[in-house]
């Protein structure tokens, strides 16, 4: 009754609760199978078999891994800061899971006589929200690395923090030029603008490249995996972690990869738009629900393609050295993003004043 | 009541702006057990201190109590990535002391084995440079081709890593047909893989940036330190024991010595890669020469040195003389002539020398192994001074520091 007074629709609450549950479990499921996929891709590249014992094609391997991580002894070093030591992986996981809130997974379903939106929250500052949450992710690395009270972890934490902060700048600048084109910060609007193949990769190729490189850096993936460089820093910031706390760090990396892929697909590759298909026609002939379902499939195909790209790169090229990483970030990425921004602004202005 | 109860910090510890990082003895990048004590200013290395001795096994002392043929097993465990070269080097040293002349076919078979192990050594070293720079794929991808080499070892001597291959005067048995078939298979398959491996790394922008200028050493400094092998050649000095003091009939072969210019990690990588191509050339020539032997020569696989080469088992059971030799050799009761020899072979890592002093009797009076790794490791602190932490790792692997060889 009070809820009615507050003008909150109970059904909406239930709908969103279910959606949140689904999105989070799907993220975790995808992250789980990313670990399997990573091992399979690596095996494919290195002429090996990869996991093939647990279940058909090793499909149950992630379950076994998870079980193992849960069953392992949990060690908290006596010289560590206990509270922060536990907070680190928690923060990493939290921020990784939160990002998915603004990603539109599909257009709406018509269910129970309502439009059920496939987006947890269509906030009008969607991109800013993603930036805000992702930049919180650095605390997971920093706090975990610092609380371990280990020199290797500390070095990794410093590396990780400076890397993520520098690349976030370039990432933000590359997004600004995209925003000049879209004129909106809402991810749903951006996706809707890209219907039938007018993908922003065509208008912002350089911006996309910068965004791509920066998301590698944000996810701590090769060639930017300096903070967990196993041959230099013994796995870096999660050196002292064991059991599921280690699992949280590893998992959050894969969730991040999943979300980054989703964001890249959304911003530059039309999001849930089905390429070469007129969605209005499809909705008229097959029904809105079929369209929404197919859009989810289309979106996931794009995401999986990006995830594969992440893995492909990881198993192909070496990692940067710290100073080269900084040089690339500050002396190449940021100037390029600035140039991209100026050029885009110039062209947008020309269009505004009627130049064809 | 004493007022001296407060904690006493070491002099200057508050003002200290650098940090000490122990890289090793157990660190993924120290391939083996040795320790680098790095003094770091942020990521930059102010000074590096090397520590050896974690797996010192007193081989030189052990050798003083062993008959010659039992020392072969000690040499296996020096540079275990290329133990056949160590074995052959030791046999050549013994033959030099004993004055045993080996037939040409034995020389050529030895060269096949030595060059195969040079390939396996360089392959591991170069792919580990890749691993230490973060590219893991090259390493596991070439592993299966090292496996082909190990299968040949297995066919020739029965073991894979610590081979204990050959005897003083030749081989324990002739190469089987299967061994030659496996060699042919390797020669057919390997060039394509090596090409692919080079494609993965040599023009890889990130790899080049990581390795060019990392841990450079000038030719002069390298010579002063006593560098040999690929690491010296990368600095621009064309010194190769195979050419300057040919052993085991290396003078019959046609091959080039690749030389670098700056002596940095990238040059070392390129020199090793090129040496693998040259080794392939040598193996092909040697295999052709082995096939050309006719008649009785075509089955010879050891020299006629009854005092040191174990007689055939069926002779031991039927002939008195053979039984006596067998007993004397196995019990280590053969007297060796007194003398002093130094013999070096071009090992996987550089000039692997054996300095053997004998005062008669059954065992060496003194045996010294000239282990190239030990010599390279001296330069480590100079090579990494002022470099980044990541360079410390890559310099270590591109010098091919193998703890087994470093500590002996």
Whether A234 and B28 lie within 8 Å, measured CB to CB: yes
Tokens of A145: 């690395």
Domain contains B3: no
Same domain? For B108 and B29 the reply is no
Residue B1 has pLDDT above 50, yes or no: no
Q: Residue B14 above 80 pLDDT? A: no
pLDDT in tens, B89-102: 999 999 989 888 89
> What pLDDT, in 10s, does the model give residues B106-137?
999 999 999 999 999 999 999 988 888 888 88
Crossing angle of helices A82-98/A243-268, nearest 10°?
30
Which pLDDT score is estimated for B93? 92
Same domain, B46 and B189: no
pLDDT digit string (tens) for B164-188?
888 888 888 888 899 999 999 999 9
Q: Which of B19, B21, B134 sits opposite A318 (nearest CB)?
A: B134
Q: Is the pLDDT of residue A157 over 60?
A: yes
Q: What is the pLDDT of residue B119?
A: 92
Query: So what's the ipTM on this one?
Result: 0.82
Residue B271, min C-alpha distance to chain A (Å): 20
Query: Which range is least confidently modeled, A32-41, A47-56, B14-23, B194-203?
Result: B14-23
Interchain proximity B204–A318, CB inside 8 Å:
yes
Beta bridge partners of B339: B358
In this prediction, residue B191 carries a pLDDT of: 92
**Facing A231 at nearest CB: one of B131, B141, B207:** B131
pLDDT in tens, A321-350: 888 888 888 998 899 999 999 998 888 888
- The DSSP secondary-structure symbol of B40 reads E
- Which one of B389, B392, B398, B401 makes the best mutation probe of the A interface by having the most chain A beta carbons within 10 Å? B389
Mean pLDDT in residue range A197-210: 84
Same domain assignment for residues B154 and B35: no
| Cα distance between residue B368 and residue B375, in whole Å | 14
Task: Report the residue from B136, B141, B388 with minimal CB separation from A321.
Answer: B388
* Chain A: residue whose CA lies nearest to B30: A231
**B14 inside domain:** no
Mean of the pLDDT values across residues B310-329?
90
* B123 and B142 Cβ atoms separated by less than 8 Å: yes
- List the single best residue of A50, A224, A231, A312 to mutate versus B (max B Cβ within 10 A): A231
Condensed to tens digits (0 to 9), the pLDDT of residues A81-122 reads 888 888 888 888 888 888 888 888 877 777 777 777 777 777
* Binary contact (B209, A316; C-beta < 8 A): no
* Contact (Cβ atoms closer than 8 angstroms) between residue B135 and residue A318: yes
**What is the per-residue pLDDT across A34-79, written as a single tens digit (0 to 9) for each?**
989 999 998 888 888 888 888 888 889 888 988 998 898 888 888 7
Buried (b) or exposed (e) across A150-172, using 16+ Cβ within 10 A?
bebbbbbbbbbbbbbebbbebbb
What CATH number should be reported for the domain holding residue B80?
Answer: 1.10.645.10
- Judged by CB atoms closer than 8 Å, whether chains meet at B206 and A230 is answered as no
Specify the pLDDT at position A19: 85
ω into B25 cis (within 30 of 0): yes
B139: distance to nearest CA of chain A, Å? Answer: 8
Chain A residues with CB under 8 Å of a chain B CB are 42, 45-48, 151-152, 155, 159, 222-223, 225, 229-232, 234, 315-324
Residue A356 has pLDDT above 60, yes or no: no
**pLDDT, average across residues B299-309:** 85
Task: Look at residue B335 and tell me if it is in a domain.
Answer: yes
Distance between CA B256 and CA A314 in Å, rounded?
Answer: 36
Give, in order, the Cα–Cα distances in Å from B237 to each of A33, B141, B258, B382, B383.
52, 32, 10, 19, 18
Chain B neighbors of A231, CB-CB under 8 A:
28-29, 131-132, 134, 393
How many contacts does A have with B, using Cβ atoms within 8 A?
A: 76
Q: For residue A47, give the nearest of B134, B144, B389 by CB distance.
A: B144
Distance from CA of B100 to the nearest CA of A (A): 46
Whether B260 is in a domain gets the answer yes
pLDDT at B271 over 50: yes
Look at residues B32, B51, B70 and tell me which one is the last residue of a structural domain: B51
Looking at the fold, whether B35 and B112 belong to one and the same domain comes out as no
CA distance B206 to chain A (A): 6
Which of B28, B134, B389 is opposite residue A319, by nearest beta carbon?
Answer: B134
For A255, residues 6+ apart whose C-beta sits below 8 A from its C-beta are: A27, A28, A30, A31, A93, A96, A97
Give which of A39, A37, A66 is closest to A261, Cα–Cα.
Answer: A37
Tens digits of residue pLDDT in A209-238 = 999 998 888 888 878 887 777 777 777 788
The count of other CB atoms within 10 Å of the CB of residue B361 is 11
Which positions 18-37 of B are in contact with A (Cβ < 8 Å)? 19, 21, 27-29
The B residues from 109 to 148 touching A (CB cutoff 8 Å) are 130-137, 140-141, 144
Does some domain include residue B370? yes
- Report the alpha-carbon distance of residue B271 to residue B231 in Å, rounded: 8
Domain boundaries, chain A: 2-352
B112 and B205 part of one domain: yes
pLDDT (0 to 100) of residue A98:
86
- Say which of B28, B132, B137 has its CB closest to residue A315: B137
Give me Rg for the CA atoms of chain B.
Answer: 23
Instruction: Quick: pLDDT tens for A251-284.
Output: 888 888 898 898 888 888 887 888 777 777 777 7
Please check whether residues B47 and B74 belong to one and the same domain.
Answer: no
Which residue is closest to A152 within chain B, CA to CA?
B21
Q: How far is A315 from chain B (nearest CA, A)?
A: 6
Clarify whether residues B76 and B38 are in a common domain.
no
Range of the domain at B27: 19-51
Counted domains in chain B = 2
Whether residue A320 and residue B204 make contact (CB cut-off 8 A), yes or no, is no
Last residue of a domain, one of B35, B51, B67: B51
Instruction: Place A5 in a pLDDT band, splitting at 50, 70 and 90.
Output: low
Please, which pLDDT band fits residue B20 given cuts at 50, 70 and 90? confident
Going by pLDDT thresholds of 50, 70 and 90, the confidence category of residue B283 is: very high
Q: Give me the residues paired with residue B22 across strands.
A: B37
The average pLDDT across A150-174 equals 87
Q: Quick one: B403 and B296 in the same domain?
A: yes
Helix (H) or strand (E) holding B49: strand B44-51
Shortest distance, CA B210 to any CA of chain A (angstroms): 7
């Amino acid at each position: 009754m009070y809820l009615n007074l507050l003008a909150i629709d109970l059904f909406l609450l239930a709908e969103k609760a279910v959606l949140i549950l689904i999105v989070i479990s799907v993220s975790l499921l995808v992250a789980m199978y990313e670990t399997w996929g990573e091992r399979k891709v690596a095996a494919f590249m290195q002429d090996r078999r990869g996991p093939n014992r647990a279940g058909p094609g090793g499909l149950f391997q992630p379950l076994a891994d998870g079980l193992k991580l849960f069953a392992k002894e949990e060690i908290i070093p006596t010289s560590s800061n206990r509270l922060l030591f536990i907070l680190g992986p928690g923060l990493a996981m939290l921020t990784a899971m939160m990002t998915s809130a603004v990603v539109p997974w599909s257009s709406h379903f018509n269910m129970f006589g309502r439009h059920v939106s496939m987006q947890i929250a269509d906030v009008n500052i969607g991109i800013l929200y993603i930036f805000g949450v992702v930049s919180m992710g650095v605390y997971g690395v920093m706090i975990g690395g610092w609380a371990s009270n280990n020199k290797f972890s500390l070095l990794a934490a410093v590396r990780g923090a400076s890397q993520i902060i520098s690349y976030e700048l370039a990432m933000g600048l590359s997004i600004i030029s995209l925003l000049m084109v879209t004129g909106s910060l809402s991810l749903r609007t951006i996706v809707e603008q890209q219907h039938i193949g007018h993908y922003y990769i065509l208008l912002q190729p350089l911006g996309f490249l910068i965004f791509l490189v920066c998301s590698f850096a944000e996810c701590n993936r090769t060639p930017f995996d300096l903070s967990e460089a196993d041959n230099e820093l013994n796995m870096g910031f999660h050196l002292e972690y064991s059991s599921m706390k280690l699992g949280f760090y590893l998992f959050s990396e894969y969730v991040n990869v999943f979300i980054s892929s989703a964001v890249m697909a959304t911003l530059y590759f039309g999001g849930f738009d089905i390429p070469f298909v007129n969605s209005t026609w499809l909705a008229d002939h097959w029904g809105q629900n079929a369209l929404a379902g197919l859009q989810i499939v289309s979106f996931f195909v794009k995401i999986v393609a990006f995830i594969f790209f992440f893995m492909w790169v990881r198993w192909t090229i070496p990692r940067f050295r710290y100073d080269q990483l900084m040089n690339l970030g500050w002396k190449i990425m940021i100037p390029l993003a600035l140039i991209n921004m100026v050029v885009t602004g110039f062209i947008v202005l020309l269009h505004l004043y009627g130049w064809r | 009541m004493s007022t001296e109860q407060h904690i006493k910090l070491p002099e200057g510890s508050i003002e200290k702006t650098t940090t000490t990082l122990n890289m090793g003895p157990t660190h993924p990048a120290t391939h083996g057990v040795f320790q680098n004590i790095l003094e770091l200013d942020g990521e930059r290395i102010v000074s590096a201190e090397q520590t050896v001795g974690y797996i010192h096994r007193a081989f030189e002392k052990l050798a003083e109590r062993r008959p010659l043929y039992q020392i072969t097993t000690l040499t296996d465990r020096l540079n275990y990535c290329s133990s056949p070269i160590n074995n052959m080097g030791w046999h050549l040293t013994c033959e030099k002391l004993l004055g045993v002349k080996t037939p040409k076919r034995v020389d050529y078979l030895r060269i096949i084995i030595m060059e195969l192990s040079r390939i396996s050594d360089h392959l591991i070293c170069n792919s580990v440079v890749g691993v230490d720079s973060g590219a893991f794929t090259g390493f596991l991808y070439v592993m299966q081709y090292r496996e082909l080499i190990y299968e040949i070892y297995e066919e020739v001597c029965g073991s894979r890593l610590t081979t204990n291959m050959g005897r003083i005067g030749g081989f324990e048995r002739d190469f089987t047909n299967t061994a030659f078939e496996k060699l042919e298979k390797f020669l057919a398959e390997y060039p394509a893989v090596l090409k692919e491996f080079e494609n993965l790394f040599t023009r890889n922008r990130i790899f080049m940036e990581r390795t060019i200028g990392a841990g450079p050493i000038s030719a002069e400094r390298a010579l002063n330190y006593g560098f040999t092998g690929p690491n010296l050649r990368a600095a621009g000095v064309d010194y190769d024991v195979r050419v300057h003091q040919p052993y085991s009939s290396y003078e019959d072969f046609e091959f080039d010595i690749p030389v670098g210019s700056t002596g940095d990690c990238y040059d070392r990588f390129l020199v090793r890669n090129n040496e693998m191509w040259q080794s392939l050339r040598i193996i092909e020539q040697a295999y052709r020469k082995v096939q050309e032997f006719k008649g009785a020569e075509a089955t010879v696989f050891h020299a006629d040195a009854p005092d040191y080469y174990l007689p055939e088992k069926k002779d031991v059971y039927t002939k008195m003389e053979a039984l006596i030799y067998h007993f004397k050799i196995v019990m280590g009761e053969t007297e060796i002539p007194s003398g002093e020899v130094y013999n070096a072979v071009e090992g996987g890592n550089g000039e692997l020398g054996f300095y053997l002093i004998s005062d008669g009797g059954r065992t060496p009076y003194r045996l010294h192994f000239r282990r190239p790794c030990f010599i390279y490791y001296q330069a480590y602190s100079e090579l990494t001074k002022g470099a980044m932490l990541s360079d410390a790792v890559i310099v270590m692997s591109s010098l091919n520091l193998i703890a087994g060889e470093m500590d002996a």
